[in-house]
Chains A and B, each alone.
Chain A
Amino acid sequence: GQSLEQPSEVTAVEGAIVQINCTYQTSGFYGLSWYQQHDGGAPTFLSYNALDGLEETGRFSSFLSRSDSYGYLLLQELQMKDSASYFCAVREISRGGATNKLIFGTGTLLAVQP
């Protein structure tokens, strides 16, 4: 089967650092993406890892370890506007190569408190 596990909820205070973990088990793997979704809004792309290691984009960083089927999203200098749901998503690979099919986790609700 295919599954992505994330913590359901995380709470942190403004200015802090928070890490959201994701472990995955999928039949095919090409890369791990992270999306942010505010309540009632569209998921927006944050970061993508195709290779092991850390990718940094401003206050957000994402890490991937393919051997451990594990990744995380690191949010620094938390702001109130970061309160949202965060999803990890595996990009599948097929016999024809990479695909654009994403398999999403159940999401982590991040609450940033003053």
Chain B
Amino acid sequence: DAGVTQSPTHLIKTRGQQVTLRCSPKSGHDTVSWYQQALGQGPQFIFQYYEEEERQRGNFPDRFSGHQFPNYSSELNVNALLLGDSALYLCASSSLPGLAPDTQYFGPGTRLTVL
């Protein structure tokens, strides 16, 4: 049973560029959430996708956008990269909200460095 996978593992970009990160959820999961984790901080919620639609969004600018495909995989796109976007980007998959136990499975993350 494959867990959550993310690609690429590491990425280096320069300011102003655009980046696309990818995530495949755990088998049986249909909800994908994206988090940004700066060094020494806890993960910050970016947004969540369910049924190919953005269902919830955190306090992130419109430069951050996403997509979910029919097979439940998801992409995170960041435009006009800033130095402050350097972080570990985590994807978490889960089933429909409300089902117990509450467990989100995180992928290994993509380490983005913006120079």
Answer yes or no: A48 CB below 8 A from chain B CBs: yes
Answer yes or no: A43 CB below 8 A from chain B CBs: yes
Identify whether the interface residues of A are mostly helix, strand, loop, or mixed.
Answer: strand
Given known contacts A48-B101, A48-B102, A100-B94, is B56 in contact with A42 (CB within 8 Å)?
no
Given known contacts A42-B90, A99-B56, A100-B94, is B42 in contact with A50 (CB within 8 Å)?
no
Identify whether the interface residues of B are mostly helix, strand, loop, or mixed.
Answer: loop
Given known contacts A42-B90, A42-B109, A99-B97, is B44 in contact with A104 (CB within 8 Å)?
yes
Count CB-based A-B contacts (< 8 Å): 66
Q: In the complex, what distance in Å separates the CA atom of A30 from the CA atom of B40? A: 26
Answer yes or no: B17 CB below 8 A from chain A CBs: no
Q: Which B residues fall within an 8 A CB radius of A?
A: 4, 31, 33, 35, 40-45, 48, 56, 58, 90, 92, 94, 97-98, 100-109
Closest CB pairs A-B (n = 7): A104-B42, A42-B106, A98-B98, A48-B102, A43-B106, A98-B97, A100-B97
